[in-house]
C-alpha cells in the first residue's frame, strides 16, 4: 500500500519540481537578458571593427558587459545613461545613430561632473529605453524634447546672458514684456491673480504649457488667463522659458556657474557699479574719467580686462579704485565695452531718465500690460466684466482719478469687479494689491507715466 501511494507522489514531485525549475529558468532569463547588453555588444563589435592595432583589438574584445553609471552625489542623481550611450565622449562617433552617438559640449559640461539627466531629464537610474527616457507611468520627469533643451541652461545660467541659448533669452524677454507678472509671481515678484510660476517647469509638460498659452481654458477649465497670440517660434520660446523655471536648488558647484561672461551682464554691472559717475557713454555721465565711447579703438582687450582686475598695474597713479571684480565680471565688463557699438546698447540709466520713462519701465516690469494691454491701451478680455467684458484701458485715467486716488487704487488693488450679468460667473481677472511690491519711488513714476498716457490736445474737452 505504501509503495503504491508513493508512486503517486513521485509523479507530483516531478511535475511540480519541473514547474518550479521552469519558472526559475524563466525568471533567470528575464533577469539576465537586459536590452542594454545588446547595445554594449554592438558597441564592442564597432570598437573591434575600428581597432587599428592588435592591442586595441584585444582591449575592445576584453570589454566587459556591465552597467555604467555616473554618480552625482551633490545632485542626488545616478545617471546610467552611459550604459547604452557608450560613445558620448568619443568625437569619432560623431554622427553615429543612437545610442552610440557622440555628444558635443563635453568640455564645457564634463559628463562626470554633470551627468545627463540634469539637462535632458528622464530617469537616470533606469536601464531600459522606456524607463530611462521616462515615458512610463509613475515617472514625472520624462526626457525634455530636444527642441526645448535650452530650457535646461536656464537652471544654472542667467537666461538673458547665455549667447548659446537664444531661445531661452527670447522666452525671458517675452515673459518680461507681454506682462505675465501682472498676474503671476516669479522669483517673488508679480501679481496674485494666477498661480506662482517658480516651479512650473518641473510640474508641467511642454505640450500642456503650449496649449495653456494659446488656449488657457482648454487645459484649465475656467481659467481667466487671456489667450496669447504668439507666433510658433515665440510660443516655443516662452514655453521653453517656463520649462527652465524648475525651482531646483543646485549645489554650490553648479550654482556658481550661473554667470557666464556676456555683454549683457557687463552692461548690467556697468549700471550697478556706478561707472557712469566718473565715465560717460554717449554724452551721458561724469567727467572725472575718460569717456568710454571709443575705448575699443584705443585699448586692447587684454589691457581693459587687466584694468578691471587692478587699474594700477596698467595705469599707474590712476584714481580709479580697485573694485574686486571676479574674473567673469571683469570679462563681462570688457565684453560690454568692446561691443557696445555693435549691440547698439542704450544705457537707459534710471537716474538720467524722466519720471515718465521710468514709469514706463515700471509698467513693463510688473506686467501691467498683461491685463491692461501694451501702453495701457486695453483690449484684454475679462468675461462678464461690466467694463465691456474687458480689462479697462488706462488711456484716460488722468480724467477719472487724481494722482492720490490712482496711487491708492494701485496700492490696494480691487478684488471685486462689477459683473455685467450677476447670474454668470464673476469676472476672472481682477486688480491685485501692488502696495507691498512696487516701491514708493516706482509708484510715483508709474502714476506719472499713467497720467502721461492721455493723448495730447484732448485736455480741452470739458
Partner 1 sequence: MKTPSPLGLWAWFAGTRVGRSIFRVGPPRSNLERSQAMVSSFLLHVQPAKVSRHSLRASYSLGLGLISLYLFFILTGTGVLLMFYYVPSTTQAYDRMKDLQFVVSAGLVVRNMHRWAAHLMVAFVMLHMCRVFYTGAYKQPREFNWLLGVGLFLTTLGLSFTGYLLPWDQLAFWAITVGSNIAGYAPVVGPGIKYLLLGGNTVGQEALTRFYALHVIVLPAVAGLMVAVHLFRVRKDGGLSRPDEPAEDAQSIPLGQLPTNKSYGLMELARGTTPQVGRDPDDEVFAWPHLIFRELLLFLLVVAFVLFLAVFWNAPLEELANPIHPPNPAKAPWYFLGLQELVSYSAFWGGVVVPALLVTALALLPYLDRRREGVGRWFARERRVANTVFSICLVIAIALTIVGTMFRGPNWGWVVPWRTPPAMTQEH
Residues binding partner 1 (CB under 8 A): 2, 5-6, 9-10, 12-14, 16-17, 19-20, 23-24, 26-28, 30-31, 67, 76, 78, 80, 123, 125-128, 131, 138-140, 195, 219-221
* Residues in contact with 35: Cβ distance below 8 Å, sequence separation at least 6, in sequence order: 128, 129
> What are the start-end ranges of the E strands in 146-265?
185-186, 189-190
Q: Which is nearer to partner 1, 222 or 317 (CB)?
A: 222
Give whichever of 226 and 261 is closer to partner 1, judged by the CB atom.
Answer: 226
CA–CA distances in Å: residue 462 to residues 266, 363, 393: 51, 29, 20
Rounded CA separation 189/367 (Å): 10
Q: Which is nearer to partner 1, 31 or 55 (CB)?
A: 31
What is the enclosing helix (H) or strand (E) of 285? strand 284-285
Report in angstroms the alpha-carbon separations of 124 from 72, 116, 128, 172, 209.
11, 8, 10, 29, 24
Shortest gap between Cβ of 70 and partner 1 (angstroms)? 14
Minimal distance, residue 239 CB to partner 1, in Å: 18
Q: Which is nearer to partner 1, 123 or 167 (CB)?
A: 123
| Residue with cell string 531629464 | 121
Nearer to partner 1, 79 or 442 (CB): 79
CB of 159 to partner 1, least distance (A): 24
Q: How far is the CB of 11 from partner 1 (least distance, A)?
A: 10
| Cα dihedral sign, 450-454-455-456 | negative
Write the DSSP symbol of residue 460.
G
Please identify, using beta-carbon distances, which residue of 125 and 424 lies nearer to partner 1. Answer: 125
Write out the H or E segment, with its range, that includes residue 327: helix 327-339
Q: How far is the CB of 31 from partner 1 (least distance, A)?
A: 5
Unique residue bearing C-alpha cell 514708493? 440
Residue 139 C-beta: closest distance to partner 1, Å: 7
Amino acid at each position: 500500500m505504501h509503495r503504491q501511494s508513493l508512486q503517486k507522489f513521485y509523479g507530483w514531485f516531478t511535475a511540480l519540481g519541473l514547474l518550479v525549475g521552469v519558472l526559475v529558468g524563466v525568471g533567470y532569463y528575464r533577469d539576465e537578458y537586459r536590452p542594454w547588453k545588446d547595445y554594449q555588444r554592438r558597441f564592442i563589435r564597432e570598437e573591434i571593427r575600428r581597432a587599428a592595432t592588435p592591442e586595441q583589438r584585444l582591449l575592445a574584445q576584453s570589454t566587459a558587459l556591465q552597467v555604467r553609471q555616473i554618480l552625482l552625489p551633490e545632485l542626488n542623481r545616478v545617471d546610467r545613461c552611459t550604459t547604452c550611450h557608450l560613445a558620448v565622449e568619443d568625437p569619432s562617433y560623431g554622427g553615429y545613430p543612437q545610442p552610440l552617438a557622440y555628444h558635443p559640449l563635453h568640455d564645457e559640461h564634463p559628463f562626470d561632473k554633470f551627468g545627463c539627466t540634469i539637462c535632458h531629464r528622464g530617469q537616470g537610474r533606469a536601464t531600459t529605453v522606456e524607463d530611462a527616457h521616462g515615458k512610463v507611468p509613475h515617472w514625472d520627469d520624462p526626457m525634455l524634447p530636444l527642441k526645448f533643451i535650452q530650457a535646461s541652461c536656464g537652471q544654472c545660467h542667467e537666461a538673458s546672458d547665455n549667447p548659446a541659448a537664444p531661445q531661452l533669452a527670447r522666452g525671458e524677454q517675452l515673459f518680461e514684456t507681454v506682462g505675465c507678472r501682472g498676474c503671476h509671481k516669479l522669483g517673488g515678484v508679480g501679481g496674485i491673480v494666477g498661480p506662482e510660476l517658480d516651479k512650473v517647469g518641473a510640474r508641467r509638460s511642454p505640450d500642456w504649457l503650449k496649449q495653456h498659452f494659446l488656449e488657457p481654458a482648454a487645459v484649465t477649465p475656467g481659467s481667466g488667463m487671456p489667450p496669447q497670440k504668439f507666433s510658433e517660434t515665440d510660443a516655443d520660446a516662452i514655453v521653453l522659458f517656463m520649462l527652465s523655471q524648475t525651482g531646483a536648488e543646485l549645489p554650490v558647484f553648479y550654482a556658481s556657474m550661473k554667470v557666464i561672461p556676456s555683454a549683457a551682464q557687463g552692461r548690467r554691472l556697468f549700471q550697478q557699479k556706478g561707472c557712469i559717475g566718473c565715465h560717460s557713454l554717449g554724452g551721458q555721465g561724469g567727467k572725472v574719467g575718460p569717456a568710454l565711447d571709443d575705448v575699443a579703438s584705443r585699448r586692447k582687450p587684454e589691457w581693459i580686462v587687466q584694468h578691471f582686475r587692478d587699474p594700477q598695474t596698467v595705469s599707474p597713479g590712476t584714481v580709479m579704485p580697485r573694485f574686486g571684480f571676479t574674473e567673469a565680471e571683469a570679462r563681462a565688463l570688457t565684453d560690454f565695452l568692446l561691443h557696445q557699438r555693435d549691440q547698439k546698447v542704450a544705457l537707459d540709466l534710471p537716474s538720467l531718465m524722466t519720471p515718465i520713462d521710468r514709469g514706463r519701465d515700471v509698467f513693463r516690469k510688473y506686467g501691467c500690460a498683461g491685463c491692461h494691454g501694451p501702453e495701457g491701451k486695453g483690449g484684454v478680455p475679462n468675461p462678464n466684466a461690466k467694463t465691456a467684458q474687458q480689462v479697462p484701458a488706462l488711456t484716460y485715467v488722468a480724467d477719472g482719478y487724481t494722482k492720490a486716488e490712482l496711487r491708492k487704487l494701485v496700492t490696494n488693488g480691487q478684488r471685486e469687479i462689477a459683473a455685467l450679468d450677476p447670474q454668470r460667473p464673476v469676472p476672472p481677472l481682477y486688480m491685485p494689491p501692488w502696495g507691498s511690491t512696487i516701491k514708493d519711488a516706482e509708484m510715483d513714476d508709474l502714476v506719472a507715466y499713467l497720467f502721461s498716457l492721455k493723448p495730447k490736445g484732448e485736455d480741452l474737452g470739458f
